């Protein structure tokens, strides 16, 4: 299996998603797409999060369709999607939480301030969440 993590303009993301995406293509290779951020390290953090989440969903047999459907329904019901994967109802909650743990370790090693990174995701990153800052 090959893994490709790319930063692409938001307009080129699959219409089903906002800001960050993963899917397995017809060859079974993992494709991860993130939208541009202010710092390459933040794009890397987000890409690694998505890659870990996707790998664990594959391992735990969480279907892509279930993830996409949950996210789309979540977007409709919430003004932001900051914590969609943290929702206990999310079919990929466990995988998302592991991905976040690894993302946080990498964040520390890359000397990225988590709060600043999280604020950019909440306030200016593409997607429904850009409409309203996360309520934490």
Task: Please identify, using beta-carbon distances, which residue of 32 and 112 lies nearer to Zn ion.
Answer: 32
Residues between 26 and 55 that touch Zn ion (CB under 5 A): 53
Q: Tell which one of 85, 91, 126, 128 touches Zn ion (CB under 5 A).
A: 85
Q: Tell which one of 33, 34, 81, 96 touches Zn ion (CB under 5 A).
A: 96
In this structure, the number of other CB atoms found within 10 A of the CB of residue 92 comes to 24
User: Which secondary structure element, helix H or strand E, spans residue 107, and what is its range?
Assistant: helix 93-109
Smallest distance, Zn ion to C-beta of residue 54, A: 9
Task: Please identify, using beta-carbon distances, which residue of 53 and 81 lies nearer to Zn ion.
Answer: 53
Q: Rounded to an integer, what distance in angstroms lies between the CA atom of residue 95 and that of residue 113? A: 23
What is the bridge-based pairing of β-strands 20-24 and 3-7?
Answer: unpaired
Q: Which residues pair with 7 in a beta bridge?
A: 34
In this structure, the number of other CB atoms found within 10 A of the CB of residue 34 comes to 26
Smallest distance, Zn ion to C-beta of residue 122, A: 14
Smallest distance, Zn ion to C-beta of residue 53, A: 5
Task: Please identify, using beta-carbon distances, which residue of 91 and 112 lies nearer to Zn ion.
Answer: 91
Q: Rounded to an integer, what distance in angstroms lies between the CA atom of residue 94 and that of residue 53? A: 9
Q: Which residues pair with 3 in a beta bridge?
A: 30
Smallest distance, Zn ion to C-beta of residue 83, A: 9
Residue numbers of the site for Zn ion (CB under 5 A)?
A: 53, 85, 96
């Amino acid at each position: 299996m090959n893994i490709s993590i790319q930063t692409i303009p938001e307009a080129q993301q699959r219409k089903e998603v906002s800001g960050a995406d993963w899917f397995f293509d017809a060859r079974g290779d993992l494709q991860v797409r993130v939208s541009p951020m202010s710092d390459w390290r933040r794009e890397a953090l987000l890409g690694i999060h998505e890659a870990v989440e996707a790998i664990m969903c594959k391992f735990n047999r969480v279907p892509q369709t279930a993830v996409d459907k949950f996210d789309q329904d979540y977007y409709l019901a919430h003004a932001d999607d900051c914590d969609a994967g943290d929702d206990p109802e999310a079919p990929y909650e466990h995988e998302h939480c592991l991905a976040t743990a690894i993302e946080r370790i990498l964040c520390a090693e890359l000397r990225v301030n988590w709060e600043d990174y999280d604020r950019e995701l909440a306030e200016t990153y593409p997607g429904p969440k850009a409409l309203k800052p996360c309520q934490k």
